[in-house]
Chain A
Amino acid sequence: MPTRIDVVADPVRDRCLLTTDHLSPRQLPGADGVVRVGLVAAGALLLAGDDVRIEIAVSGAVRLEIVETAGTVAYGMRGGTARWDIDIRLTDGASLQWYAEPFVVSADADVTRTTTARLATGCTAHLRESLVLGRHGETGGVLHTATRAWLGENLLLAEDLDLSPEFRTGWAVLGTNRCLDTVTTLGFRLPDDPQTLQLEGPGSIARRLVHEQHQSTLNRPASAS
């Protein structure tokens, strides 16, 4: 059973249906037109054999803000593996902001992490993914990521990263950096900046490759996207 956040805009009160699994979503106070949901681990995460699936569906003129209280650590898995799959569906003008806390892949962990986003035309998403390979002083384990985003019928972004130790350390992927901090916007662009990648369609990627996560200059947006 997936962890699920279902939000439907409503003129009286936006409806919000939350389903707990590996993670427990809790509604927080939010301004008009904004549904804020805190995402808290419901047990020890992330361990060998864990299959975490987070489904987010937002419909109508409402903005969902997901807040995490703590980062996630994928612990050593002794030959096992774990998955972390995020599925986002936005329809009818919905928007999503999710500034995720760091996702730390410890030594000997083996994690596949996918993000799939399907946005109807007119919807927007503002996502941060902060991947850290190894806790302080250790060489992180294996991480494979796959990102796919559609806007309407069009594929907006497809990116697979092989962040296993033997591939990531070269001059093409991460180099000696331990942290890959990424802010991705879908449905709208970030302002131009020499280091910001502008997608072919309306969307952007701002990325920082740093040794320590806190060195990243990708800060939380001050206000609405």
Chain B
Amino acid sequence: MGNVELVAMMLADGRLPTGGHTQSGGLEPAVRAGLGADGKQLADVASYARDRLRTTTRVEAAVAVVTRHLALSGTNVAPGDENVPQTTGRLDTQTPSSPSRADWFGPDLPSRGLWLEKRGFDNQYPRLEDHAARRGAGQGLGDVEAAWAARTPSHVVRGVSRRQGRLLLRLARRVWPDVTTYLPNDGEIARPVVLGVVGAVTGLSAEQVARTIAYDDAQTVISASLKLLPVDPADAATWLAGLHDDIEWLVKDVAPLTRVDDIPADGAPLIDVFAHNHAIERMRLFHA
């Protein structure tokens, strides 16, 4: 195994081909709503990143930390035959499995797959819970993703994370094939869950996993500000450096977590509102 510091640096590097450049961490719709309007109060960008670290990013980091812990404790996750990495280029043809969702919806309600299909949300690709169900895994990574989903009330925000998770997974199964011990070859899986598994198989500590999530989110917001607002790049880097204490507070806060139920549930209503505005915006620079 290589040097874990280098793995952490790779994961935090915006040049890693996982589509990080398409993300503004919700800054674009916030700017559209008036953040930094007329080039004034540009430092609100840093405050916005700090608010995220205290709320939604804290939840994401905790999800990644608990995922890493569960993968390493390995009690309920084991390799399955279907996880042999595919060597063919095209993965999209993998058929979505459709296990019964009766446990979730009850017998009288349509399966969520049907729901979502009709609603045109998503679910084109297998989800982690399907994977877990196929293996008969109980308390496992599917539970972490369910905990994340309950703490992420917006389908738009979940969809963004799952698309990002899919991009990271497709890269990770080539770079760190051991991830397929825990995750399907392809699928829309919450990004912090994928990142937690990458952390587990590459030997990252819980602190490194949490720090990667926190730094990545802050840097996503700050660097997007350079494209959205008249920001001096040196100011942007100064803002990021000014967030180091907040990032380390988050790391200390979530790194000890090991139980799904202990994952914090901090919400940020305005982030959800902005995400929904952005989802129907016709002219946008960033995906989210």
Show the binding face of A for B, using Cβ within 8 Å: 121-122, 146, 148, 151-162, 167, 170-175, 177, 180, 192, 194-195, 197-202, 205, 207, 209
> Which chain B residues lie closer than 8 Å to A122 at the CB level?
106, 108
Are A171 and B279 in touch, CB under 8 angstroms?
A: no
Is residue B258 contacting chain A, with contact meaning CB distance below 8 A?
no
Q: Assuming A172-B51, A205-B153, is B265 touching A195 (CB within 8 A)?
A: no
Q: Is the CB of B155 within 8 A of A155?
A: no
Residues of B in contact (CB 8 Å), total 48
Query: Is there an interface contact between A197 and B52, defined as CB atoms closer than 8 Å?
Result: no
CA gap between A177 and B274 in the complex, in Å: 14
Partner of B158, one of A148, A153, A162, A200: A200
B-chain residues with CB within 8 Å of residue A194 when the two chains form the complex? 276-277, 279-280
Return 30 A-B CB contacts under 8 Å, by A number.
Answer: A146-B265, A152-B103, A152-B104, A152-B106, A154-B103, A154-B150, A155-B146, A159-B267, A161-B267, A162-B266, A170-B44, A171-B44, A171-B47, A171-B48, A171-B270, A172-B26, A172-B55, A172-B56, A172-B270, A175-B270, A197-B153, A197-B154, A197-B276, A198-B154, A198-B155, A199-B150, A199-B155, A200-B149, A200-B155, A201-B112
Find chain A residues with CB under 8 A from B268 CB: 172-173
| Shortest distance between the CB of A101 and any CB in chain B (Å) | 20
- Nearest B-chain residue to A199, judged by Cβ: B153
> Nearest CB to that of B102 among chain A residues?
A121
Query: Is B119 in contact with chain A by the CB < 8 A criterion?
Result: yes
A180 to B266 CA separation, bound complex (whole angstroms): 16
Q: How many A-B residue pairs have CB under 8 A?
A: 116
A156 and B151 CA atoms in complex are apart in Å by: 9
Tell me the chain B residues, 138-169 only, with Cβ under 8 Å from chain A: 146-147, 149-156, 158
Task: Tell me whether B121 and A198 are in contact (CB under 8 A).
Answer: yes
Cβ–Cβ < 8 Å partners of A175 in chain B? 33, 270
Check A195/B30 contact, CB under 8 A, given A122-B106, A160-B267, A202-B105.
no
Q: Is the interface of B mostly helix, strand, loop or mixed?
A: helix
Tell me whether B265 and A158 are in contact (CB under 8 A). Answer: yes
Enumerate chain B residues within 8 angstroms of A197, measured Cβ to Cβ. 153-156, 272, 276
Say how far A103's CB is from chain B's closest CB, in angstroms: 15
C-beta contact mask, B264-288 vs A, less than 8 Å → 1, else 0? 1111111111001101100000000
**Which positions in B face A, CB cutoff 8 Å?**
26, 30, 33, 35, 44, 47-48, 50-52, 54-56, 103-106, 108-109, 112, 115, 119, 121, 146-147, 149-156, 158, 264-273, 276-277, 279-280
The 8 Å CB contact of A209, one of B108, B266, B273, is B273
Q: In the complex, how many angstroms separate the beta carbon of B104 from the nearest chain A beta carbon? A: 6
CA distance A192 to B48 in the complex (A): 29
**A172 nearest CB neighbor, chain B only:** B51
CB-based closest 8 A-B pairs = A172-B51, A121-B106, A200-B149, A158-B265, A159-B267, A172-B268, A170-B51, A198-B155
User: What is the bound-complex CA distance between A155 and B266, given in angstroms?
Assistant: 15
Residues of A within 8 A of B267 (CB): 159-161
A157/B109 in contact, CB under 8 A: no
**Least CB separation from B274: chain A residue:** A171
Known contacts A146-B265, A152-B104, A175-B270, then 5 further A-B pairs from the complex at CB < 8 Å, ordered by chain A residue: A152-B103, A157-B150, A171-B270, A197-B155, A199-B155
Instruction: State in angstroms the CA–CA spacing of A160 and B279 once bound together.
Output: 24
Find the B residue at minimum CB distance from A152.
B106
Q: Which residue of A lies closest to B54 (CB)?
A: A167
CB distance from A80 to the nearest CB of B (A): 25
Is A161 a contact of B108 with CB atoms below 8 Å?
Answer: no
Q: With CB as the reference atom, state the residue of chain B lying closest to A148.
A: B265
Cα separation A79 to B193 with both chains bound (whole Å): 41
